[in-house]
Amino acid sequence: MLLRGDDLLITGPPDYPQLPDGDYGFDGGLYLGRWDSRPCRLVPLPGESHVPDGLRVESLAAAEPQLPISLLSLGGIGRMVLHWERQSCFCSACGASLERIDGEWGKSCTSCKDRCFPRVAPCSIVLVRRPGAVLLIRKPEYPPNRYGLVAGFLECGECLEEAAAREVAEETGVQVTNVRYVGSQCWPFPSQLMCGFVADYAGGEVTVDTRELVDARWFPVGALPTLPPRRSIARYILDTELAG
């Protein structure tokens, strides 16, 4: 698996993309396990790396990705592994170097023997509903006309439902009630677990937190803007909740 930032280098026809089989001149890498019954090695590439003949680039972060969910998921695992590798060079307890624990992704300190393991950050993402409308937000980095759902990281002392309600209040000024769980998704940009909820409007006027958003508004369910890509839990929540 050749990863160049958010890009995965693949081979095969467009309707049957595959990981390349062979080293293509790239040395090193990390053994991930077996994929399609064959050993799979993860090789990170610099951003300026040349794409060898016979390979092509597909972005894991594309608005409408062309890869099947299996390769998107595998590429996501690769990104999370590389993020962990970059963040786990030294012990957070004493500052000494870390070494891998045999047979797993965890690492052990060479000095104090403290052990650490890959960290996944829990986040809440929530769709707020009122009769005939949904509350959507827009961040500065979104493509033109795209809107999404309020989301944010869990803070100390919170449960996921509390985090969902707090983020809605902080970003939009709206109060919610009846927060209920929908589903979750691994989000490897760089290493989150998105926990999805839907909530009912309880009060308040929309006030945009301009530190994080460029817009937030109520949209009639029959006149929605461009929505997040179908690979995302945001789109899953919208499609699932609005289908009824």
Whether the per-residue pLDDT at 71 is higher than 90: the answer is: yes
**Count of CB atoms within 10 A of residue 10's CB?**
20
Question: How many Cα neighbours within 13 Å face the side chain of 43?
Answer: 18
Same domain, 193 and 215: yes
Average pLDDT over residues 216-240: 95
Same domain, 98 and 183: no
Sign of CA pseudo-dihedral 124, 128, 134, 140: negative
Radius of gyration of the chain (CA): 21
CA angle 129, 140, 169 (to 5 degrees): 35
The DSSP 8-state label assigned to residue 56 in this structure reads E
Same domain, 14 and 108: no
Same domain, 225 and 138: yes
**In this structure, what CATH number is given to the domain that contains residue 228?**
3.90.79.10
Same domain, 101 and 202: no
Same domain, 78 and 103: no
Domain interval for residue 110: 91-118
- CA distances 160 to 81, 148, 192, 203, 212, Å, are 25, 19, 13, 21, 20
CB 36 within 8 A of CB 12: no
Whether the per-residue pLDDT at 22 is higher than 80: the answer is: no
Same domain, 232 and 125: yes
Helix (H) / strand (E) containing 182? strand 175-187
Same domain, 64 and 31: yes
Whole-number average pLDDT of the chain: 94
Number of domains in the chain: 3
| φ/ψ of residue 135, rounded to 5 | -95, 120
Same domain, 109 and 138: no
* Residue tagged 């677990």 (tokens): 193
Where does the pLDDT of residue 244 fall: very low under 50, low under 70, confident under 90, or very high at 90 and above?
A: low
* Residue tagged 């033109």 (tokens): 144
Q: What's residue 195's pLDDT?
A: 98
pLDDT digits (tens, 9 = 90+) for 34-60: 998 999 999 999 888 889 888 999 999
Give the torsion through C-alpha atoms of 139, 141, 144, 149, to 10 deg: -40
Collapsed DSSP state (helix, strand, coil) of residue 222: coil
Q: E-assigned strands of 188-243? A: 192-203, 215-220
CB 188 within 8 A of CB 76: yes
pLDDT digits (tens, 9 = 90+) for 177-209: 999 999 999 999 899 999 999 999 999 999 999
pLDDT digits (tens, 9 = 90+) for 89-136: 999 999 999 999 998 899 999 999 999 999 999 999 999 999 999 999
Q: Which residues, in sequence order, are bridge partners of residue 59?
A: 7
Same domain, 126 and 41: no
Same domain, 127 and 188: yes
pLDDT digits (tens, 9 = 90+) for 124-181: 999 999 999 999 999 999 999 999 999 999 999 999 999 999 999 999 999 999 999 9
Same domain, 44 and 102: no
CA nearest neighbour of 128 among 48, 23, 222, 203: 203
